[in-house]
Amino acid sequence: MASLQPRLDEFKKAFESGAPPYSAPHEAIETMHRATAELKASGLENIALNVGDRAPEFSLFNQDHVKVNSAGLLRQGPMVVSFFRGHW
């Protein structure tokens, strides 16, 4: 199985090189670094739910507009839950 982090590192390197296909301007990269550093410094990641906490229940629509309920899934077994920002 290929590892995820090396792929992310490779993407980051290509993006931050400023070369095509991304051709990211230097100032844009600086801005993104600043925002990440500020979020890191805010300590917000330390207040997120953590190991030992009870996971909140959710009931949300999937890609086919079918309601999916976390309690229903957990009745069958454990769950891996990933939060991501989006396709962009």
Partner 1 sequence: MMELEALQEIDSEVRALGGRIVALTPERERYTRNVHKKLNLTFDILTDLHLKTAEQFRLVFALPDYLRDLYRSFGSTLDRFHDEPEYRLPMPARYVIDKEGIIRAADVNADYTIRPEPSEAVRLLRTLRA
CA pair distance 22, 31, nearest whole angstrom: 16
Q: Taking CB under 8 A as the criterion, which residues in 54-73 touch partner 1?
A: 54-58, 60-65, 68, 70-71, 73
CA pair distance 83, 60, nearest whole angstrom: 13
Q: Which two tokens stand for residue 54?
A: 């009870």
- Assess 12 for contact with partner 1 (CB under 8 A): yes
- Assess 20 for contact with partner 1 (CB under 8 A): no
State which of residues 11, 18, 19, 23 lies at the interface with partner 1 (CB under 8 A).
11
Q: Which two tokens stand for residue 83?
A: 């939060």
Residue with tokens 């090396």: 6
Shortest distance in whole angstroms from residue 76 CB to partner 1: 7
Q: CB count, 10 Å around CB of 41?
A: 8
State which of residues 20, 21, 26, 48 lies at the interface with partner 1 (CB under 8 A).
48
CA pair distance 39, 31, nearest whole angstrom: 12
Q: Residue numbers of the site for partner 1 (CB under 8 A)?
A: 1-5, 7-9, 11-12, 28, 31-32, 34-36, 38-40, 42, 44-45, 47-58, 60-65, 68, 70-71, 73-88
